[in-house]
Amino acid sequence: MLSRQLASIPGVSVLAEEPLSRHTRFGLGGPAALLCDASTEAACIEAFRIIQASGAARMIMGGGTNLVVSDAGVRSVILRYSGARIERRTGENDMRLRVDAGAVLQDVVDTSIRFGMKGLETMTGIPGLVGGALYGNAGAYGRSIMELVECVHATDGNGITAFRNEGCRFRYRSSIFKDRKQWVILSTELRFTADDVAALAEKAAGIRAIRDAKYPPDMKCAGSIFKNLLFAELPPSVQAQVPPALVREGKVPSAWFLEQAGVKGLRRGDIQVATYHANLVYNDGAGTAADLVWVIEELKRRVYERFGFYLEEEVQYAGFEG
């Protein structure tokens, strides 16, 4: 039996019919056939190999921050890598960290600040794990994690492959790993520049206060639902409507388009668009994935009718047909 095979691997734990609502930030989603956690690279590779050999449907999952799981769940074996080491590279003045993909991003932010390492402080308060941050090239306040990456180690079940920065094909909120969803990110090496610890901590604290006010830590949401827009890629007729002051670093907030479409406060069941931020959708209690998907599609439809293009989600879907 597959669950017994997987559970017999040192460093692997297996849960059958585990509700994914317990593992997603929206607090939504039915059960997974099997939820398999591997705490070491060797355990992850062996589990991956066994799952592949079984022929079972499989899915790779991170921290569930940007994941929308259907109410019916996922009839797949879900594999997660939970290694969470954060190590400073050798040398008192070395500005590098080696980080496992299962490490909490905030823990890495805090560690980098403690060592006077500049580069991640703007990402304080972003929920999720390092693997997910690499997968989606997370960023904030004009910085992205791609700027720090020296290499990323990943597996497709056949050993470990090292991807140098250019091999990761980072782009706005994306990477090669979004194109190769069956790969598991295992670790990364990040290079920083030196800065004053107190200055980094002060900047992070200011950003954290702003973020917590917009996205309270206990709010069941994924942060922003839609990616911002690259101004240069918008149709000329749309560019002409965008106030120049909104364009920052070549991007236009998707929230502006949503505001023009009048979506603030839109609600279906317990899924609501925030009244103060049009690109924030949250579960206000006992929401359902079906209602969340309906709201997302309605927002896309309204923007399309107003501007003639579709917004692109930052969230990923699991367990949906079509």
Number of structural domains found in the chain: 3
As a whole number, mean pLDDT of residues 288-294 equals 97
Q: Catalytic pick from 39, 224, 302, 313?
A: 224
Q: Which two tokens stand for residue 88?
A: 């400073």
Active site residue 173: yes
Measured CA to CA, the distance from residue 294 to residue 290 in angstroms comes to 6
Q: Are 246 and 285 in a shared domain?
A: yes
Domain-located, residue 134: yes
Look at residue 1 in the predicted model and tell me its pLDDT: 87
Quick check: is 206 in a domain? no
Annotated active-site residue in 173, 175, 187, 211: 173
Rounded-to-integer distance, Cα 236 and Cα 314, Å: 24
Regarding whether 185 and 138 lie in a shared domain, the answer is yes
Cα pseudo-dihedral 278, 282, 288, 291, rounded to 10: 0
- Which residue segment(s) compose the domain that 104 sits in? 86-199
For residue 257, is pLDDT > 90?
yes
Instruction: Give the model's pLDDT for residue 92.
Output: 67
What average pLDDT does the segment 283-311 reach?
97
Which domain-ending residue is among 139, 168, 199?
A: 199
Q: Are residues 262 and 292 in the same domain?
A: yes
* Domain final residue, candidates 40, 61, 81: 81
What pLDDT is stored for residue 321 in this prediction?
75
pLDDT of residue 182: 86
pLDDT, averaged across the chain: 94
* Residue 211 identity: R
CA distances from 18 to 15, 33, 35, 211 (A): 6, 7, 7, 31
Structural domain ending residue among the three candidates 32, 47, 81: 81
Is pLDDT at 265 greater than 70 in this prediction?
yes
- Going by DSSP bridges, is the β-strand pair 86-88/251-252 parallel, antiparallel, or unpaired? unpaired
pTM of the model: 0.91
The string of pLDDT tens digits covering residues 131-181 is 999 999 999 888 999 999 999 999 998 889 999 999 999 998 899 999 888
pLDDT digits (tens, 9 = 90+) for 69-101: 999 999 999 999 999 999 998 776 789 999 999
Q: What pLDDT is attached to residue 322?
A: 57
Is the CB of residue 111 less than 8 Å from the CB of residue 89? no
Q: C-alpha distances in angstroms, 313 versus 35, 55, 226, 300? A: 25, 30, 4, 9
- Asked if 91 and 191 sit in the same domain, the reply is yes
Only one residue has tokens 């090239």, namely: 137
My answer on whether 190 and 95 are in the same domain is yes
Count of all residues that appear for the chain in the document: 322
Looking up residue 9, the CATH number of its domain turns out to be: 3.30.43.10
Q: Is 314 in the active site?
A: yes
145/97 same-domain check: yes
